[in-house]
């Protein structure tokens, strides 16, 4: 009557039992188990490879320090410095002139002290449909500024990629080897905890993003939470497992499409508002999840953008690449 | 009835504060990192649990209790792991000091 | 305001002041801690106390959404400790590797120098012997 042991091994409960005893990865992708001898051999190989690569890295650094740049490059750098200083100076003068046209700071009659705040507080909920006035303010009244900020994030991530991305070759392999060799990896305690915590963190981040117009939070903070969850996953499981679901391709697609949709939404608002048309988007009843027009969608796009940027910064500074 | 609840909450909160004080005292009293870590864990677990219990009793709202329980659960998981991680770093970067302190065991 | 509410206010304010004092004490430990683990542990403790202070503030101001921030803060402090220890261990090991390599190189070069000196001594001795021999031959 009772089950045979062989039958029991293939059931769901035996897998749970094995997971509790630490014999098997139950929740996650299972890798092929290596025997101890094989593991030792691979470890030794990695060790010698890492030692070689360390020497190579030092040599590369030395070569970089001791080679003279080309002549036209030198001239270009000098010219570049001069032009950069000029551009900065003109921008400074322009901004200072603009500031001199503003009303005096701290004056009691300034519009910022009376009308603007009054309008935001009194009519904010009615006009934007968001219970959280801050979200309504930054995504609706000040949508233009927020769009600029998101672009700044995008440009910052691109600049970090230009500076730190290691395309291919020996250096990339060195980065991988060092990431695996020098730091503690595959700590089973952290892995078990991360298996429970990371989904919780993701759910929390999604909650913060979706409730952006109802409670404190929004795209930026929720995206930061999701990015932190990704970083937690990486620190527990290593880059190789993370790249199965979040690699450079996913990063590019998610980031660029989020930015494009965001710009589309806001340009629709701008176009309609500037021409004085009705934008045909109902605001819904304040307090519901689906309300306040496009703010919910804009929050989702901003959240995607911020999460991708957070993770990309971490990965680029850690090992110089997403893949 | 309100006063009874308040007094129970106050006892919990005061015990939590005492626990936290003991933790800070231990952090100054002990001479070695791992002993200090042990006393800091008192504040992280017992102090936080008693404090959360007191706040739940004081507030008496259902969602507040759920969220507070979530916070306690989260911290019980993470603070132990933090201790483990710090301990591992301490052992790896300076094995000699640790072994002297623990008698080579 | 009822009696319970005012008593609650007094209690919560007192606890907040007490915990603020504890934060200062732990911060002194973090600054003076002789080892890096002391500092990390103290920062972790400050995080816990800060989370509890946030919860107290949530009760005092009657704003439940502050507890969301508690969860996020707990997560961030955990993440910071994990990443800091990981990075610190990596940097330490790399420096250790470099130091050992330099030491090995130094020892090797010293050994090479020592060998050369020995060879030179041998050569000098041989030459001296030859000169003595030749002197002896000339004298005879």
DSSP string covering A215-279: SS--HHHHHHHHHHHHHHHHHHH-HHHHTTTS-HHHHHHHHHHHHHHHHHHHHHHHHHHHHT---
Which among C83, C94, C98 has CB closest to A235?
Answer: C83
Mean pLDDT of chain C: 83
Cβ neighbours around A31 below 10 Å, total: 9
Residue C51 touches chain B, beta carbons under 8 Å: yes
Binary contact (A193, B92; C-beta < 8 A): no
Assign A1 a pLDDT band (cuts: 50, 70, 90): very low
Binary contact (B33, C38; C-beta < 8 A): yes
Q: Mean pLDDT throughout B10-33? A: 89
Instruction: Calculate the alpha carbon distances from B7 to A89, A296, B3, B12 in Å.
Output: 66, 44, 6, 9
Give the residue, C112 or A222, on which the prediction is more confident: A222
Query: How far B7 CA lies from chain C's nearest CA (Å)?
Result: 10
Is the pLDDT at C73 greater than 70? The verdict is yes
Give C72's contacts in chain A (Cβ within 8 Å). 204, 221, 225
**How far apart (Å, rounded) are the C-alpha atoms in residues B43 and C40?**
15
Same domain assignment for residues A209 and A321 = yes
Is the pLDDT at A166 greater than 90? The verdict is no
Nearest to A319 by CA among A216, A245, A269, A248: A248
Burial A209-228 (b: 16+ CB within 10 A, else e): bbbbbbebbbbbbbbbbbbb
| pLDDT recorded at residue A79 | 92
Is the pLDDT at B94 greater than 70? The verdict is yes
Nearest to A308 by CA among A260, A273, A238, A256: A256
Give the residue, C49 or A281, on which the prediction is more confident: C49
Same domain assignment for residues A19 and A150 = no
Is the pLDDT at C31 greater than 70? The verdict is yes
Q: Mean pLDDT throughout A289-317? A: 86
Give B77's contacts in chain A (Cβ within 8 Å). 193, 196-197
Assign A32 a pLDDT band (cuts: 50, 70, 90): low
Same domain assignment for residues A12 and A140 = no
Same domain assignment for residues A149 and A14 = no
Highest mean pLDDT of the ranges A49-63, A173-187, C82-96? C82-96
Range of the domain at A25: 1-33
Q: How many domains does chain A have?
A: 2
| pLDDT recorded at residue A61 | 76
A11 domain-assigned: yes
Pick the residue of B74, B81, B83 with the most A CBs within 10 A to test the interface with A by mutation: B81
Q: Mean pLDDT throughout B51-61? A: 87
Binary contact (B84, A189; C-beta < 8 A): yes
Is the pLDDT at A186 greater than 60? The verdict is yes
Binary contact (C67, B37; C-beta < 8 A): no
Assign C140 a pLDDT band (cuts: 50, 70, 90): very low
Assign A23 a pLDDT band (cuts: 50, 70, 90): low
pTM value? Answer: 0.75
**How far apart (Å, rounded) are the C-alpha atoms in residues A305 and A299?**
10
A-C CB pairs within 8 A amount to: 50
DSSP run (H or E) holding B8: helix B2-29
A41 domain-assigned: no
Range of the domain at B60: 2-102
A307 domain-assigned: yes
Contact A175, A315 (CB under 8 A): no
Same domain assignment for residues A281 and A166 = yes
A316 domain-assigned: yes
Q: Mean pLDDT throughout A25-46? A: 61
| pLDDT recorded at residue A83 | 96
Portion of chain B with pLDDT greater than 70, in percent? 94
Same domain assignment for residues A29 and A135 = no
| pLDDT recorded at residue A90 | 96
Portion of chain A with pLDDT greater than 70, in percent? 82
Torsion of CA C5, C7, C11, C16, to 10 degrees: 50
Q: How many domains does chain B have?
A: 1
């Amino acid at each position: 009557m009772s089950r045979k042991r062989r039958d029991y091994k293939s059931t769901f409960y035996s897998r749970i039992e094995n997971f509790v005893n630490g014999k098997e990865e139950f929740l996650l992708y299972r890798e092929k188990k290596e025997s101890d001898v094989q593991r030792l051999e691979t470890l030794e190989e990695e060790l010698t490879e890492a030692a070689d690569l360390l020497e190579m890295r030092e040599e590369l650094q030395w070569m970089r320090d001791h080679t003279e740049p080309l002549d036209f490059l030198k001239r270009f750098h000098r010219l570049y410095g001069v032009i950069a200083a000029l551009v900065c100076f003109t921008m400074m003068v322009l901004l200072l002139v603009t500031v001199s046209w503003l009303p005096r700071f701290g004056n009691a009659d300034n519009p910022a002290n009376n009308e603007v705040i009054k309008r935001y507080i009194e009519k904010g909920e009615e006009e934007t449909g968001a219970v959280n006035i801050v979200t309504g303010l930054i995504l609706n009244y000040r949508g233009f500024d927020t769009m600029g900020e998101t672009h700044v994030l995008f440009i910052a991530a691109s600049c970090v990629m230009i500076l730190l991305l290691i395309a291919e070759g020996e250096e990339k392999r060195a980065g991988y080897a060092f990431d695996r060799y020098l730091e503690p990896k595959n700590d089973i305690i952290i892995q078990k905890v991360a298996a429970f915590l990371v989904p919780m963190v993701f759910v929390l981040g999604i909650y913060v993003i979706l409730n952006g117009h109802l409670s404190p939070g929004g795209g930026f903070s929720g995206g930061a939470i999701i990015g932190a969850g990704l970083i937690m996953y990486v620190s527990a499981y290593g880059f190789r497992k993370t790249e199965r679901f979040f690699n450079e391709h996913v990063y590019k697609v998610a980031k660029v499409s989020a930015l494009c949709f965001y710009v589309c939404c806001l340009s629709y608002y701008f176009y309609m508002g500037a021409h004085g048309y009705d934008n045909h988007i109902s605001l819904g009843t304040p307090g519901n999840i689906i309300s306040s027009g496009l703010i919910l969608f804009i929050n989702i796009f901003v959240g995607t953008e911020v999460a991708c940027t957070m993770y990309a910064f971490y990965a680029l500074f850690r090992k110089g690449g997403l893949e | 009835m309100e006063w009874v609840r308040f007094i129970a909450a106050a006892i919990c909160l005061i015990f939590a504060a005492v626990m936290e004080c003991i933790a800070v005292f231990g952090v100054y009293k002990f001479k070695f990192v791992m002993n200090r870590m042990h006393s800091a864990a008192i504040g992280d677990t017992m102090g936080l649990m008693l404090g959360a219990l007191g706040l739940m009793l004081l507030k008496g709202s259902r969602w507040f209790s759920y969220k507070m329980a979530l916070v306690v659960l989260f911290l019980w998981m993470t603070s132990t792991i933090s201790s483990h991680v710090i301990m591992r770093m301490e052992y790896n970067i300076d094995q000699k000091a640790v072994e002297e302190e623990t008698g080579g065991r | 305001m009822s009696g319970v509410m005012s008593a609650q206010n007094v209690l919560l304010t007192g606890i907040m002041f007490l915990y603020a004092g504890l934060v200062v004490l732990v911060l002194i430990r973090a600054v003076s801690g002789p080892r890096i683990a002391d500092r990390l542990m103290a920062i972790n403790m400050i995080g816990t106390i800060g989370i509890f202070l946030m919860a107290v503030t949530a009760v005092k101001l009657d704003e439940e959404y502050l507890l969301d921030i508690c969860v996020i803060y707990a997560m961030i402090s955990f993440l910071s400790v994990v990443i800091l220890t990981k990075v610190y261990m990596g940097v330490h090991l790399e420096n250790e590797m470099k130091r050992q390599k330099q030491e090995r190189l130094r020892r090797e070069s010293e050994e090479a120098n020592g060998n050369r000196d020995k060879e030179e001594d041998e050569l000098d001795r041989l030459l001296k012997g030859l000169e003595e021999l030749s002197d002896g031959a000339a004298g005879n």
